[in-house]
Copies of this chain bind each other. A is one copy, B any other.
């Protein structure tokens, strides 16, 4: 089965997720700075979630560029990932509206945790389709970032109820950690790429 349509559909869903979050930035009635001030936490939540969804899109892009084909399990694993990602606008809006209180912050982390688990399942489904001794399995290797992130998300869920800002710090930290894209996968694509393009 070809991967093109799965990529196109995922692009569509992720593009909508990343864009509807901005609808939480409700147009204020006043036209002065005071009208903008309550929007600041909403904007900050939006920025963080934009980066997270951007990271997922980037990694999804790298992962499927390394993949050569899909099967029914991969289709569903991908939909499962999209389901959790689709809850990000909701938790973003809830965190933003409640100025980063404990429960919304914890739920934010829970959705990030479940998204990371879904991504990990998708990765497993792809490796299983391509074989455990395939280039893509090799390249993912120990995958420490993929293993560390869910643990950090769960830690942040706990921290939300201690000091809420500690949880936020963890979310920012994990985002920074992922900001550096998955060079392992980029390497496979290049090695498997007979066109011999210049890589930096």
Interface residues of A in 150-200 (CB under 8 A from B): 179, 181, 183, 186, 189, 197, 199-200
Q: Mark A3-16, 1 if CB is under 8 A from B, else 0.
A: 00111110111111
Q: How far is the CA of A19 from the CA of B22 in the complex (A)?
A: 13
Which residues A25-58 have CB closer than 8 A to chain B? Answer: 25, 27-33, 36, 47, 50, 54, 57-58
> Within residues 125 to 149 of chain A, which ones have a CB less than 8 A from any CB in chain B?
129
- Selected from B20, B29, B57, B183, the residue in CB contact (under 8 A) with A23 is B20
Please tell me which one of the listed residues B32, B47, B89 contacts residue A22 in the complex, with CB atoms under 8 A apart: B89
Cα–Cα distance between A4 and B174 once the two chains are bound (Å): 28
On chain B, the residues within 8 Å of A31 by CB distance are: 94, 98, 101-104
Q: Is B71 a contact of A200 with CB atoms below 8 Å? A: yes
Contact A19 B18 (CB under 8 A): no
Answer whether residue A90 sits at the interface, using C-beta atoms and an 8 A cutoff: yes
CA distance A86 to B179 in the complex (A): 20
Main SS at interface, chain A? helix
Question: How far does the alpha carbon of A104 sit from the alpha carbon of B42 in the complex, in Å?
Answer: 18
Asked if residues A75 and B94 are in contact (CB atoms below 8 Å), the reply is no
In whole angstroms, how far apart are the Cα atoms of A94 and B36 in the complex? Answer: 10
Known: A22-B87, A31-B102, A58-B75. 16 other contacts (CB 8 A): A1-B186, A2-B65, A5-B7, A5-B65, A8-B11, A11-B12, A13-B19, A18-B86, A23-B23, A28-B94, A29-B97, A36-B103, A36-B107, A54-B79, A58-B76, A75-B181
Q: Can you list 18 contacts pairing A with B, beta carbon distance less than 8 Å?
A: A1-B65, A8-B11, A9-B15, A9-B61, A13-B18, A15-B16, A16-B19, A16-B20, A19-B86, A22-B90, A30-B98, A36-B107, A58-B75, A58-B79, A69-B197, A75-B181, A76-B181, A129-B200
